[in-house]
Amino acid sequence: MRSMTIENEGDSVVAMFLERSISDEVRIMEIGDELTEMASKMSAEQKLILDFQKVEYCSSAMIGQLVLLRNATERDGVNLRLRNVSPTIQTIFQTMRLDKVFRFDKPDA
C-alpha cells in the first residue's frame, strides 16, 4: 500500500499522505528515505509541500523523520512546507515547540 502520492504544482512538489495514522515504524523509515531522496534532487527555488489533509495521527517517530527531513532541506536550500495539518497534530508541534521550526501553509479551502 502506498503511503503517499507525489504531484507537481507549479514550482512545488506536493507529497500527500494517504493514511489516517502514520505510526508503522518501517513505513515511517520508507517515507523518510523517499522524501529525503526526493528533496536532494530538487533545486533551491522549489518547495516541498507535505500535505497532511488525510492524517489524523502521526507518531513521534514520524515527527522525528520530519525533523531530519527539515534539516536536509534546510541544508540544500529547499523550502519545506506543511499543509492541512489537523488541530490535534498542530498541538503536538506546538507542545514540542516545532511550530517555530516548520513553516505551515494555510489549509486548503
Residue 66 has what pLDDT?
97
What CATH class has 4-104? Answer: alpha beta
Give the pLDDT confidence of 70-101 residue by residue, as tens digits: 999 999 999 999 999 999 999 999 999 999 99
Residue 106 has what pLDDT?
78
Phi, psi of 2 (to 5 degrees): -70, 140
Which spans in the chain are helix H?
25-40, 60-76, 87-95
Arithmetic mean of pLDDT, 42-61: 94
Residue 1 has what pLDDT?
57
pLDDT band at 14 (very low <50, low <70, confident <90, very high): very high
pLDDT band at 56 (very low <50, low <70, confident <90, very high): very high
Scan for cell 523523520, then name that residue: 65
C-alpha cell at 7: 504531484
Distance of CA 95 to the CA centre of its chain: 18
